[in-house]
Every structure is written in C-alpha cells, then in structure tokens.
Amino acid sequence: MAGLGIDGLVSGLKTSELIDQLMAVEANQQTLLKSKKTTTSSLVTALQTLNTKVASLATAAKTAATATSWQVVKATSSDTAIATATVGEGATPSTLTFRVDAVAASQSTMYTLPAYYDGTPSFTLTAADGSTQTLTAASSNITDVLAAFNADGTGVKASALNVGTAAEPQYRLQLTGTETGAAHAFTLTADNPLDGSSLTTQSIRSAADARITLWPGTDAESMVTSSTNVFEKLATGISVTAAKVGTEPITVTVTRNDTALSSLASGLVNNLNTVLSEISSRTATSTSTATDGTTRVTGGLFSGNTTIRLLQQELSKAGSASFGSSTASASQVGIVLNKDGTFTFDAEKFAEAMNADPAKVQQVITSIATSLEKVASTASDETTGTLTSQVTTWRGEVDDLADRIASWDTRLTDRRAALVKTYANLEVALSNLQSQSDWLTSQISQLNANNSN
C-alpha cells in the first residue's frame, strides 16, 4: 500500500511497511485457500477429461457389443471401370451378375433462335410429362436470353455458341438438362417469332435411362432401368453404379468385411488404452528438490482416489477376461494385456482367429465389450456415474473455496483500513504529546528566565 500521508511524521516509523508486513501475515490463510482452489480446480478438470474418455469407451464398447456391428460386409466388382457397388443396411454375403447395356444421359439440344420477335422473346419449355413453363427474356440480346433459361427451377442450363465471327457473331442456344434419364427430356418452342422467323433444332444427345441386364444368358435374365447411373437397392442392401457400357457380364461379390471388424476390435482396445493411460499419468508421482535441498515426492492428482483405482482395476479385468474356457480368451483373439497394464491389439492374431472361427471371435469380443460398457457406463453416466458424482462434488468444493477467498478479500480490506486508522491515530497522538512537551518546555524556560531576573 502507498504511504499514509503521515508515514513516520512524528514517530519516525515506516508505518506503510509495518502495515504491509502485518497484512502479509493476515493474508496467509487466504493464500493457502487460493493454492487449494488451484489444485482442486486442476482435479476437476482432470476428472472431467477422464469422464469424457470413459464415456467414449462406453460408446465404443456398446458398438462392439451390438450384433449388427458384426454383420458388416463389403462389395467387390469384377471390373470397376464398368461398374462399382456399395453396401448398406441388410446386405449379406452374396453374388450378383449383370451386364451394363446403357448409361444414363441428359438431353442436350442446339437451337437456332428466331431473328426477330413480336415484343420481348418468349419460349415454352415442355417436359416429358407434358408440363410446361414459359420463359420470357428481358430482350433479344443473347445475354438476356441465357439469363431466362438459367433461372432457378427451369431444369436446363443454357450456353451460347458463336458460329459466326468475332466481328459478326451468330449465336446458337445450347440447352442441356440438369438431370439424366428419359423422364427429363424436353422440347422447346418459340412463342412470338415474327413471320419468316423460325426456331430450328439440332439434337446433340437424347435423354436416356441407364440400363442393365441381370443374370444375362440365363432363364432369369431381366432388364432394369434407372434415370441415373445409380441402381439403388438392386439387391438387399446393395447399390450398383454404372460407369460405362460393357459387353461382358460384371459380377459383384459381397463378402464379410474383416478389415472393418478388425477396426472395430482395435478401436475398442484403443479407447480402453486411452482411459488407462489417462489414469496412469494422473496417478504417477513426481519428484522435486525442496528449498532445503531434500527430495520432495508429490503424488498425482488421482493418487489415493479409491474410485479411480477401482475403475482402473475393473477395466483391466474386463479387457483381459476369459469366457467359457481358456481357449475363448481375449489373448486368443488378439487382445493382449501387457506387463505395464496397457493392452495391445494383434491384428494378425485377430485375422487368424477370424479365419479359424469367426463365431468364437465375435463371442469373445462381444463379451469383453459388454463388460467394458457396463464398467464405463457405471462410471460416466450423466446422472449417477461415479466419476460424474466426483466432478460434481469437487466442483462444489471449488465454488466454496471461491466464496471463502472472496470473503477474505473483504476481511483483509477491513483489517488494512483498521490498521491505517490505528497508526494514523498513533501519529496524531504522538504529535499532540510532542506539542504539549514543547509548550511545557517553553513555559519552564520562561519561568527560569523570570526567576534569574
């Protein structure tokens, strides 16, 4: 605090320094509270981080424990240059043979526009279903004509081609459908050309559907069409995209997707390791050198936390469990518990197990995932989770410490004001005493002077 204005005026004391020293002693309790709040806030943040990772583990475990997660398949085309395939819900291992006879196309037509119009140019665009729309240009200028056709919702895109010269341009209008398929064909007529003018048409490409033949050359041969090159749900859960016409049949083979299943299992292990690593890093002790030269050992934020220690033990147990017999264990399907408490996913061992007995692999992984989900959900549940409860409790402690620190701010302010007043009054009292002493001294000197005369 700055000087009091009468700092040492009479007493010679450094009053401001004395008050600052006394306040430092008074504020020691608040300093301890601030230190505790910092540590507790760090603990809350660490618990929230852990809780988020445990919740992610619960989600990954739930996915791995779901039967449909093990029904993933992939589709392979015998000639991807001709056609490709994708799989969706309901797809199962199977084969499908077909020939691509045609690919979908949008209509593209060239028009020679009338030279003159009765007013501003007006055109009627007629769709394949008989519906019509009238398009009116602002003027006969080719830019305005293009703007009319390129407006939203016309179903066509227009461009101008100059078949004349730069000095004497002669424009023709090219209209191209925005969608493929025979159902998106169109015709165009000019509504108001003057006598002698006409709108001539030159076809560039007709609107056409994509067409494939299923099981060509067999009694089951069947033709299928699509307005686009995508044949959605051609078979249960299988969609085919035609790229170009082919003369030879294409075979799409749907098989079990071992790569996706390996990712499912490895993802479960990765999430488990993430949680265990978070616990280990927050529990590990650290050493430092104290001011007196001794070594000081400090525990991690989670040291001594029984809830987290039990969570760590339960997760390790669930991740390395055996089911039914010693042959149906986590290690047999590629989930290996290491000496340091972490887990390793052995992709080669997983693949070998899948080739030998996929049902057993599914049983083991599903059982592990179910156990992990139960443990993780119990800890991270948004309402009743053990970790969630700890976050709530310690967050309340932080709020309480913040209130106590704020209360100390008021107390310290009042205490400083009291000390300032006390020392100010002391200086005033000493000043008064000094004045009285000076007066008495002068009176005695005067008395002595009178007696000597």
Based on the domain organization, do 96 and 241 belong to the same domain? yes
Q: Which residue is associated with the tokens 């665009």?
A: 125
As a whole number of angstroms, the distance between CA 109 and CA 205 comes to 7
322 lies in the same domain as 425: yes
Cα-Cα-Cα-Cα dihedral sign, residues 234, 240, 243, 248:
negative
Query: Is there a domain that residue 332 lies in?
Result: yes
The predicted structure's pLDDT at residue 335:
92
Domain annotation covers residue 293: no
Same-domain status, 10 and 81:
no
If you write DSSP's letter for every residue of 29-61 in order, what string do you get? HHHHHHHHHHHHHHHHHHHHHHHHHHHHHHHHH
Same domain, 95 and 141: no
* Region 222-228 average pLDDT: 97
Q: For residue 3, name the pLDDT band (cuts at 50, 70, 90).
A: very low
The reply to whether 324 falls in a domain is: yes
The verdict on 304 and 245 lying in the same domain is no
Q: Are residues 191 and 147 in the same domain?
A: yes
- Domain final position from 205, 229, 246: 205
Domain boundary among 167, 182, 205: 205
User: Above 60 in pLDDT, residue 305?
Assistant: yes
Please report the pLDDT score of residue 13 as a whole number.
Answer: 66
- Identify the band that residue 1 occupies on the pLDDT scale cut at 50, 70 and 90: very low
**Looking at residues 176-190, what average pLDDT do you find?**
96
Assigned domain for 170 exists: yes
Last-in-domain residue among 142, 170, 205: 205
Q: Is position 290 within any domain? A: no
Amino acid identity of residue 249, one-letter, is P
The number of helix segments (H) and strand segments (E) in the chain equals 8, 21
Q: How far is CA 250 from CA 105, 228, 354, 396, 450, in A?
A: 21, 19, 29, 66, 140
Q: Are residues 130 and 187 in the same domain?
A: yes
Residues 274 and 237 placed together within one structural domain of the fold: no
- DSSP one-letter code for 184: G
Answer whether 261's CB lies under 8 Å from 72's CB: yes
Structural domain count, the chain: 3
Q: What is the pLDDT of residue 184?
A: 97
pLDDT per residue as tens digits for the range 308-360: 999 999 999 998 876 555 456 888 899 998 888 889 999 999 999 999 999 99
Give domain status of residue 449, yes or no.
Answer: no
- Which has more confidence, 241 or 329? 241
* 398 and 263 fall within a common domain: yes
Which stretch of 51-55, 311-315, 412-416, 427-431 has the lowest confidence by average pLDDT?
427-431
* Residues 94 and 58 grouped into a single domain: no
Phi-psi sector, 304: left (phi>0), alpha (psi -120 to 50), beta: left
Cα–Cα dist 68/76, whole Å: 21
pLDDT of residue 7: 62
Q: Which domain holds residue 178?
A: 108-205
Do 262 and 328 share a domain, yes or no?
yes
Closest CA to 349 of 369, 330, 368, 370: 330
Q: Quick check: is 14 in a domain?
A: yes
Closest residue by Cα to residue 109 from 202, 199, 208, 209: 202
Same domain as 77, residue 59: no
Which pLDDT score is estimated for 323?
Answer: 59
Which amino acid would we find at residue 51? N
Q: Is 154 within a domain? A: yes
